[in-house]
Amino acid sequence: MRQNTLVALALGFGMLIGSIPAAAHHSFSAEFDSEKQVEKRGYVTKVEWTNPHVWFYINVKDEKTGKIVNWGFEMGPPHGLQARGWTRELMQIGDEVIVTGSAAKNGSNRANARNVILAKTGKTYGAASSENQQ
């Protein structure tokens, strides 16, 4: 009987720990503002092809100051991007891109990408945005 109780407790604890990453996932409206649209053109500095969201970063030249600013863009999950024609190799460090999306509510240099145009091909790819999946 005691062994069954320990097994049940261990399973329950395992399920609790497994649910923590799911609870940490945010909704679009918790972080981004669909009323604050952004369009940025720059060069890719980093791509993080991970769950639950793919992130990429670009260096953008500030038109007023001429200073280079690094922006981070959240896209959808890898499977959502693959359904839209993305592969891990599609966007590479150094590629020029034009990104449209919704700015972060906190005013940081982050946004939720809606569409990405790859300058080398001129092709537009949907970013599997979570904006309309609330």
Per-residue pLDDT at 60: 98
- Quick: pLDDT tens for 60-97: 998 899 999 999 999 999 999 999 999 999 999 999 99
pLDDT > 60? residue 3: yes
| CB-based contacts of 103, cutoff 8 Å, min separation 6 | 32, 33, 36, 37, 38, 110, 111
The C-alpha atoms of residue 115 and residue 100 are separated, in whole angstroms, by 5
> 24 pLDDT band (50/70/90 cuts)?
very low
3-class secondary-structure state, position 89: coil
CATH 2.40.50.1010 fits 27-126, yes or no: yes
Domain ranges of the chain: 27-126
